[in-house]
Amino acid sequence: MLDNVSVYCFTGSITSSMRLYLECAPAGPGPFNAGMIDFPIAASIFPREIFKAPRSWAERLWSDIVYWDEVEHGGHFAAMEQPVILVDELRKAFRGIRS
């Protein structure tokens, strides 16, 4: 975790990496609402994520959910916490849309 944080600090990119949190603050444009998205979406929901919308909410804004899974372990930093699960989820998600 310290390696990851250090990269942001030493490269001077910590501010831009935190922009999403500022933009999604209650006073900002709204919590994770980019409007209607009409292209294929794959979602892996990790139980310890900061914000977990139920699928019914996602279906209101994402018209083409091609993959949805709620996994058992991991959170906001899934790539560091559960890399094997994340890779497996990516493979499952893209398997369904490969041509």
Inter-residue contact 82 to 73 (CB < 8 Å): yes
Are residue 56 and residue 86 in the same domain, yes or no? yes
Are residue 63 and residue 43 in the same domain, yes or no? yes
Provide the whole-model pTM.
0.65
Are residue 52 and residue 25 in the same domain, yes or no? no
Q: How confident is the model at residue 34 (pLDDT cuts 50, 70, 90)?
A: low
Placement of tokens 């019914």 in the chain: 56
Range of the domain at 58: 32-99
Are residue 21 and residue 66 in the same domain, yes or no? no
Mean pLDDT, rounded, for 18-43: 71
Are residue 15 and residue 48 in the same domain, yes or no? no
Are residue 64 and residue 39 in the same domain, yes or no? yes
Are residue 20 and residue 43 in the same domain, yes or no? no
Are residue 16 and residue 57 in the same domain, yes or no? no
Residue 28 pLDDT exceeds 50: no
